[in-house]
A = this chain, B = another copy of it.
Amino acid sequence: MTPEDFRKHGREVVDWIADYMEQVDQYPVLSRVEPGDIRAQLPDSPPLQGEAFDQILEDVNRVILPGITHWQSPNFFGYFPANTSPPSILGELLAAGLGVQGMLWTTSPACTELEQHVLDWLIEMLDLPATFHSSGDGGGVIQDTASSATLCALLAACYREQSDNPRDTRRLGIDSWQVAYTSDQAHSSVEKAMMIAGIGTDRLRVIDSDENWSMRPDLLKQQMDIDRSHGLKPTFVCATVGTTSSGAVDPLPAIGAICRDHGAWLHVDAAMAGTAAICPEFREMHDGLELADSYAFNPHKWMFVNFDCDCFYVADRRPLLRALSVLPDYLRNRASQSGEVVDFRDWHIPLGRRFRALKLWFVIRSFGVQELQQKIRSHVEWAGRFADWVSADDDFELVAPRSLNLVCFRHKGGDDMNRKLLDALNDSGDLFLTHTQLDDRLTLRLSIAQTSTTLEHVERAWAAIRGTATELA
């Protein structure tokens, strides 16, 4: 494909995507294919001769599209969102066209510096603690996901422990007397990080949450005291701002104080909810964040930046670098040796990295802070309305306090009824919801964050939920 062919086919794909944006609300949100349906339509062997691009795009329509669950549908209310937006797509396109690999500052200075700069912008936009700013000992970096950010935070915590002898953990591995803590509502990535870091889940203390599904700091302190009395070292706490199940917020001031007392690293996972801090009225959830050693939120969830884009901040980058720096000779270069630059390869698991800051920059500049605030406010307002409709209905109930854009609710008819209702709604194709367990009861979740969702979509969702429940009853 020549550059001239690329011009032609590039326009076709751009038009395809614009059409998709305009029509995505008409597709069944959850894909209806059965296991193996997609593969059955693909040839067993790759083509020997190149094929025309038109043929490929035709197969996208014929084979791929029916196998898509439409995360970008305005009727997608499942999980947490992975929303995107036109400027983000253009940023990703440009990054692919430049084809930059930004492992070192020198391998494309703009890739590193724009990332530092935009992550500093986000500190201002979300009013995050100044300790995270690149001008001090800390700084921000783009990770693929909050799971990876949690793992990096855990590693930094474990590597910080031996500050008197920085080579120890590197050489001898992570000591088994190091203990981590999180709540019973934390994301599964905390458990996964314990497995990856070789520590094992027995060293993860799962602290009970209160009636609002927030971590109980009294139990955290109690457990840390017990562990310490057994000769163990409380090393890492992962608190959540906006849990996956119900959007609960852990009490950071109390947790942070306990962490300081015990010298434990506090990581705050605000993967979904963090974006809301762009609106001053929602910043209360971040109270106490100045006590955190690290923080992550995902613009690829609720800030209209397409996956993957997790923003990870540390207050002190040295333990992170200690955990993740390896310098082979073939990566040495003048700029790195000058000490004047940051090489982001030392800030995460992979070595290579693409130019993800472009899409973040495009989104912030194209929307502007005020339009981003306006969209977030609308989502929260609509979630509030939905919660009111649930509360006012005799057949339904809220299962948790509505948290920002997330509503946890259920039909009063029991787990079987809720399971049937969920399946019927998702099978209808008209909307997509997912579930969780709260108080051992099957709970429906409605998460409002898609770029093109309007109040009308939320109203239709509620009408469909009520109507389907009535039919099933």
Q: Which of A67-75, A218-226, A259-267, A392-400 contacts B (4 or more CB under 8 A)?
A: A67-75
A367 within 8 A of B: yes
Stretch at the interface among A147-155, A247-255, A382-390, A460-468: A147-155
B109 x A37 contact (CB < 8 A): yes
Q: Indicate if the CB atoms of A196 and B349 lie closer than 8 Å.
A: yes
Point out the residues of chain B lying under 8 angstroms from A53, CB to CB. 87, 90, 366
A281 contacts the other chain (Cβ, under 8 Å)? no
Residues of A345-374 at the interface with B, using a CB-CB cut-off of 8 Å, are 349-352, 354, 358, 361-362, 364-371
Is A189 engaged at the interface, CB distance under 8 Å to the other chain? yes
Segment at the B interface, from A197-205, A209-217, A285-293, A410-418: A197-205
Name which of A4, A158, A187, A329 has the most chain B CB atoms within 10 A of its CB.
A329
Size category of the A interface is: 35 or more
Q: Say yes or no: A113-B10 contact (C-beta < 8 A), given A1-B366, A21-B3, A68-B98.
A: no
Which positions 11-70 of chain A face chain B at CB distance < 8 Å? Answer: 11, 13-22, 30-31, 33, 35-39, 42, 45-51, 53, 55-56, 60, 63-69
Tell yes or no: A138 within 8 A of B by CB: no
Q: Cβ of B109 and Cβ of A33 under 8 Å apart?
A: yes
A161 within 8 A of B: no
Q: Return A244 CB to nearest CB of chain B, in Å.
A: 6
Q: Is A283 an interface residue (CB 8 A)?
A: no
Contact between A306 and B96, CB atoms less than 8 A apart: yes
Q: Assess whether A230 is interfacial by the CB under 8 Å rule.
A: no
Q: A47's contact among B6, B11, B16, B364, by CB below 8 Å, is which?
A: B364
Contact B35 A105 (CB under 8 A): yes
Collect the chain B residues with CB atoms within 8 Å of residue A13's CB.
90, 93-94, 97
Question: A163 an interface residue at 8 Å Cβ cutoff?
Answer: no
Determine whether the beta carbon of B198 is less than 8 Å from that of A174.
Answer: yes
- Give the Cβ gap from A59 to chain B, nearest Cβ, in Å: 8
Query: Which of A10, A20, A124, A358 lies at the interface centre, i.e. has the most chain B CB atoms within 10 A of its CB?
Result: A10
Any B CB within 8 A of the CB of A391: no
Q: Which residue of B lies closest to A432 (CB)?
A: B107
| A365 and B51 contact, CB distance less than 8 A | yes
B50 touches A22 (CB 8 A): no
Q: Given the complex of chains A and B, what is the CA–CA distance between A176 and B169 in angstroms?
A: 13
Give complex CA distance A469, B38 in Å.
57
A147/B350 in contact, CB under 8 A: yes
The 7 lowest CB-CB distance pairs between A and B, nearest first, are A67-B110, A198-B198, A173-B200, A10-B14, A17-B97, A174-B198, A50-B368
Instruction: Write 26 A-B pairs (CB below 8 A) sorted by A numbering.
Output: A1-B86, A3-B18, A6-B17, A6-B21, A10-B11, A16-B94, A35-B338, A38-B113, A46-B121, A46-B368, A48-B368, A49-B368, A49-B371, A50-B371, A65-B110, A68-B108, A71-B108, A84-B97, A92-B96, A144-B350, A151-B349, A173-B198, A195-B324, A195-B326, A196-B196, A300-B352
